[in-house]
Amino acid sequence: MTLEQLQEQHQQTLAKAVAANSARTFHAHWPEAPSGKIYGETANTMGEVAFKGQLDSQCKGLLQDAIGGWVGQESSPYGFPLGITYPTTSVDDYISRASSAQVSWQSVSAEHRALVLIEALECVAKRFFEIGYATMHTTGQGFVMAFQASGPHAADRALEALSMGYSVQSTFTDSVQWTKPMGKISVTINKKYRIVPKGINLVIGCSTFPTWNSVPGMFAGLVTGNSVLIKAHPGAVYPMAIYVAEVQATLNRCGFDPHICQLVVDTTEKPLTLDLLRHPAVAIIDYTGGPAFGAIVEKEALVGGKVVFTEKAGVNTVIIDSTENVDAMLENLAFSLSLYGGQMCTAPQNIFVCKDGVATPEGLISVEDIALKLREKIDGLVGNEKMGPGTVGAIQNAATAGRVEEAAALGLPIIRASAPIPHAGFNSARSVSPLVLRTDVARSDIYTREWFGPISFIISTDSFEDSLTEVTNSIKAHGALTTLVYTTDPEKMERAEGLISRAGAPVAFNFNSYVWVNQSAAFSDFHGSGANPAGNATFADVQFVASRFNVIGIRTQA
């Protein structure tokens, strides 16, 4: 495809995305509902057929050779192996091809790169249903969530990042004739400004959100002229393979080397990540995952002088002080605790409640009654045969299921015990309902640790101020990606907003409808603040894209 053809098809999409990044109002290029009326009446069936046709075979569509053979070890949390293998090669081969491919990619304009990438995303959109099934059976998400998170929501995040990258590169002219008056004479210099990418961009993916967390860095790296290596988690490769395959195919159609974007697949027994991290040609790193390996990533980046963007783990918190509608509040909170079995980096964990109770229009409600009402709301959700299994999904990693058992054995009072959730058609699904424990601030040694999975704590404090102190101290020490505060007192709201934001975390107030604290909307919500130990990245602010390139000046005497 020529630049003119790309402009004709996608210029308006790019312009709208750039405007949405500035305005921060609702914008979604791809509808989130997995509806046949939107995507075609046969789209779901075709997606499922494509998914099943890919099982127990070599991955189709990737434009990269299997010099090192074929590897794969994905297994569905719903109880069966996927049997898909992917091409692999040596670290030196990946680097060599990425370096060669980058030369032609960086020589074209930021607009050209952005339009090529939008074309690739439109091709990805034709496979949203296949991506949904691929995500469901690698992460354990329910199908609707898998479709939305890895399909339209992830694609919107990619569009957000690439349009932000395009905007930043377009903030100044690419050339100018500069004239300096010097009395009776003047001097003229012709000046050019070149966008020069930092180098190869390594994106290290996670197992729970293999596309949503990876495509911002992937597309930010690509739009700023870098070649990109996508190091997928061995347990969740398939969804990302679809994105990479469509990017490679689009690059090829547009006359570029498909190795500008490569999928890197390894195994847990023979990992490649550290060798990639340490390679001198890798200049940018995007990492999503646990804090232990995240610390290694940050250390290696510091030693090598590399740019690094991390999203690690945090301890997300809730304060319940007062509410106008206790049922709506607890229904919202119950959904947040249940969604995808607490396996979201934004899921709440610690719920702080003053020991005197929660103020409502009906009077004070004790901590005990709040706990019991929350249990009832969770029971009503997960016990719903139509809604419960799809909302909770399955547990991606067996270690997370073991963590639930570990938490239940802590000796704390159990408000709600975790129990298996049956999934129709998947008798071996690894799925459990939320565990809710009760404690007080004396057990901070327990609840200040991140308990990734369907585990939460109701924690009694002496006052709202004590709850707020607990939250801000936790943010500074352990990090957080979300905080949620329920209060009807404007002064308390103002104080919480100031202290929590200055501690470095975003804050939400009084969510009681169909938006949950777990969610982050592209083009409006900045995912992560980059200002606390949970990570230094923000999807997608200016720094997230501007740090991936340099501006080099060229001056010629006129």
The closest of 264, 249, 259 to 120, measured between CA atoms, is 249
Domain boundary residue, one of 488, 509, 530: 509
Mean of all residue pLDDT scores within the chain: 96
If asked whether residues 185 and 287 sit together in one domain, one would say: yes
Claim to verify: residue 112 and residue 238 sit in the same structural domain: yes
User: Tens digits of per-residue pLDDT, 508-556?
Assistant: 999 999 999 999 999 999 999 999 999 999 999 999 999 999 999 999 9
In this predicted structure, what is the pLDDT of residue 355? 97
- The string of pLDDT tens digits covering residues 343-400 is 999 999 999 999 999 999 999 999 999 999 999 999 999 999 999 999 999 999 999 9
Q: How far is CA 182 from CA 123, 425, 555, in A?
A: 56, 82, 19
Residues 415 and 334 in one domain: yes
Q: Are residues 389 and 438 in the same domain?
A: yes
* Domain enclosing residue 394, as ranges: 317-509
Question: Count of alpha carbons within 13 Å of 145, Cβ hemisphere only?
Answer: 25
What's the start-to-end Cα distance of the chain, in Å? 37
Note whether 57 and 82 are same-domain residues: yes
Q: Do 288 and 363 belong to one domain?
A: no
pTM here is 0.96
Q: Is the pLDDT of residue 298 over 90?
A: yes
| Separation between Cα atoms, residue 449 and residue 314, nearest integer Å | 9
The encoded tokens of residue 400 equal 């997370």
The pLDDT-based confidence of 313 (bands split at 50, 70, 90) is: confident
Inter-residue contact 160 to 522 (CB < 8 Å): yes
- Cα–Cα dist 391/169, whole Å: 41
- Give the burial string for 73-83 (b: 16+ CB within 10 Å, else e): bbbbbbbeebe
Beta pairing class for 75-76 and 80-81? antiparallel
Mean pLDDT within 30-49 = 95
Last residue of a domain, which of 470, 491, 509?
509
Instruction: State whether 156 and 189 are in the same domain.
Output: yes
| Residue 531 domain flag | no
Looking at the fold, whether 431 and 549 belong to one and the same domain comes out as: no
Any domain includes 189: yes
Is the pLDDT at 433 greater than 90? The verdict is yes
Element (H, E) at 263: strand 261-264
Whichever domain contains 372, its CATH number is 3.40.309.10
User: For the residues 275-297, what does the mean pLDDT come to?
Assistant: 95
220: cis peptide before it, omega within 30°? no
Of the candidates 231, 191, 45, which has an alpha carbon nearest to the alpha carbon of residue 129?
Answer: 45
Q: Both 23 and 39 in a single domain?
A: yes
List the CATH number of the domain containing 98.
3.40.605.10
343 belongs to a structural domain: yes
Task: Tell me: do 223 and 353 sit in the same domain.
Answer: no
Q: Residue 243: pLDDT band by 50, 70, 90 thresholds?
A: very high
Residue 142's identity, in one-letter code, is G
Distance CA 151, CA 143 (A): 11
Which of 297, 16, 245, 231 has the alpha carbon at shortest distance from 127? 245
Residue 338 covered by a domain: yes
| Per-residue tokens: 49 | 């057929």
48 burial class (0-12, 13-18, 19+ CB within 10 angstroms)? middle
* Residue 193, in any domain of the structure: yes
Contact 86, 264 (CB under 8 A): no
**396, 78 Cβ separation under 8 angstroms:** no
Mutual angle of helices 128-139 and 143-150, in 10-degree steps: 120
So what's the pLDDT on residue 509? 98
Same-domain pairing of 229 and 205: yes
User: Quick one: 161 and 297 in the same domain?
Assistant: yes
Under DSSP, is residue 509 helix (H, G, I), strand (E, B) or coil? strand
The predicted pLDDT at position 432 comes to: 97
- In this predicted structure, the answer to whether residue 305 has a pLDDT above a threshold of 90 is yes
For the chain, the domain total comes to: 2
The CA distance from 101 to 91, in Å, is 15
| pLDDT value of position 489 | 97
**Residue 422 in domain:** yes
pLDDT at position 206 over 90: yes
In a domain, 515, yes or no: no
Instruction: Give the distance from CA 126 to its chain's centroid.
Output: 21
pLDDT over 90 (residue 22): yes
**Residue 221 CB-half CA count within 13 A:** 30
> Which residue has tokens 């107030």?
509
- Hey, what long-range contacts does 30-33 have (CB within 8 A, 24 or more apart)? 30/125, 30/128, 30/151, 30/152, 30/155, 30/156, 31/152, 32/148, 32/152, 32/153
Question: Is 161 part of a structural domain of the chain?
Answer: yes
Band of residue 135 on the pLDDT scale cut at 50, 70, 90? very high
Determine the average pLDDT of the residues in 268-290: 96
